[in-house]
Amino acid sequence: MRGPDQSVYTMAATAVMRLIEQYDVDPTQIKFLGLGTESSTDNSAGAIIVKGMVDRALIARGKAPIARSCEVPEFKHACLGGVYGMKGAIRHLALDGAGGQAIVVCADIAEYARGSSGEPTQGAGAVAMLLEEDPKLAVVDLPASGSASDYRIMDFRKPMSRFCGQSRAETHQVQDFPVFNGKYSTTCYIDETLHALNDMYAKRGINAAEYMRSLRTVFMHRPYRRMPETGWAISYLFGLSRGNAEDRAELASYCYEAGIDAAALHSEMITKPDVAQLANAEQLQFEVYPLTMAVHKVFRASRRYRREILDKLALGSDTMLDLGNLYTAALPAWMAAGFEQALDENSLAPGEEVLTLGYGSGDAAEVIPFFMAEGWREATAAIRFGDAMDFTIDLNADQYVALHDGRRVNGLDYAPRDEFVIDRVGIADERHFSDLGIEYYKYVS
């Protein structure tokens, strides 16, 4: 959870400061600073807030601020905003921003009403990414990426009416509980994943099943552990249906165990269901791919499931259990955790392909191949993902409830260090001066 004096902007700025320091970045070379978030609370300003905080902290340390010619866009599309920001930064570097550097920071607060099904998945945090023309960690292959999008009405939404009338008198927090429909969200995630993968397969002219088996490491958007496992497993079954005779035989064996007719399953898989038609109270719980989900249950119990699904999603997976859902930051956080584990185990090689899949409710998906750079080990050593958890503290039940409900927390043993916090929130609403709701920040060394 975020602390009582933290917001999406303070977490984002803190991540950017640590990135600049840990990679010895020259701030004057940063010509693009993008913010990917779905938790922003200002409908006018975006990444410029982050830039302003970082500039002042850098100057206070006797360093140069970020370039005045830096672009400062905010990217919003649910959990996919950070991926869109990354793509925007890469395109910037390829065109008018050539010769400079870019930073994209993903920052979010995932919070749900107490007692709701989403409450156990809560999380908060930020991940900043450095992008440059000569990458040290991994090369992003945008021409080989796949995209998909479709309007899904009520998958997961945040209508602004939720903010109306909220008091910030006790703490600085604004509560941001989403409107969501769990089972329907899973359906949307799976369907959009399939479409994005198909777009990539078509661009690269590759066999789905053969390609999926060739990969050793996959990172996907991860609201909770089971979601990427299910998404990748269903994608694998779809890949088998489009594969060679041996692939189809493997799929038929799962059908036999599930008591499903293989021809009927194939017919279901080649349909193009209109998922948005389920967006009503009567049909929200229906399965779009009922036969596939039945076969999936059998596949989960097979020996191949660990090799083709769990093993490919293993890097960093256990570490991510400490974080909860980070929305836009979930995918890059998992990548950071995975790269650190790979460094410890020496389990990735320069030039090796690592597949990433980002997803945002609403819905849209992006599947993007990464290829490990020659210097990935040195670059990974500077991430220091594990160190970020040294700042955390455990809450007792009463403290959790108070913090969750936006009340002051008694006995909270937390002293900010090397981070930004909200200093105060403006309350003036006069004709000659107004700062109502404006957050003022400070950097605590």
Under the banding of pLDDT at 50, 70 and 90, the label for residue 135 is: very high
What fold, for 149-381? Peroxisomal Thiolase; Chain A, domain 1 (3.40.47)
pLDDT higher at 170 or 15: 15
Q: How far apart are CA 388 and CA 322, in angstroms?
A: 11
Q: What is the pLDDT of residues 165-196, one digit of tens each?
A: 677 677 777 788 887 777 888 999 999 999 99
- Give the CATH number of domain 8-138+388-444: 3.40.47.10
How far is the CA of 298 from the CAs of 179, 254, 404, 409, in angstroms? Answer: 33, 6, 40, 47
pLDDT at residue 1 greater than cutoff 70: yes
- How high is the pLDDT of residue 165? 67
DSSP class of 329: G
E-strand stretches of 159-205: 179-180
H helical segments located in 242-368: 245-258, 262-269, 290-300, 303-305, 317-320, 330-345
pLDDT higher at 346 or 386: 346
Q: How far apart are CA 146 and CA 179, in angstroms?
A: 28
- How high is the pLDDT of residue 392? 84
Q: How far apart are CA 194 and CA 232, in angstroms?
A: 9
DSSP class of 422: E
Whose CA is closest to 388, among 320, 328, 287? 320
pLDDT at residue 292 greater than cutoff 90: yes
Under the banding of pLDDT at 50, 70 and 90, the label for residue 155 is: confident
- Average pLDDT (367-396) is 93
Q: How far apart are CA 207 and CA 72, in angstroms?
A: 40
- How high is the pLDDT of residue 189? 94
Q: Which two tokens stand for residue 445?
A: 């060394």
- Average pLDDT (24-50) is 96
Domain assignments of the chain as residue spans, ordered by start: 8-138+388-444, 149-381
pTM strictly above 0.85: yes
Q: β-strands 353-360, 123-131: how paired? A: unpaired
Q: What is the pLDDT of residues 218-229, one digit of tens each?
A: 999 999 999 999
- How high is the pLDDT of residue 340? 97
- How high is the pLDDT of residue 181? 79
Note whether 8-138+388-444 and 149-381 share their fold.
yes
- How high is the pLDDT of residue 282? 79
- How high is the pLDDT of residue 182? 76
Q: Which two tokens stand for residue 147?
A: 């995209």
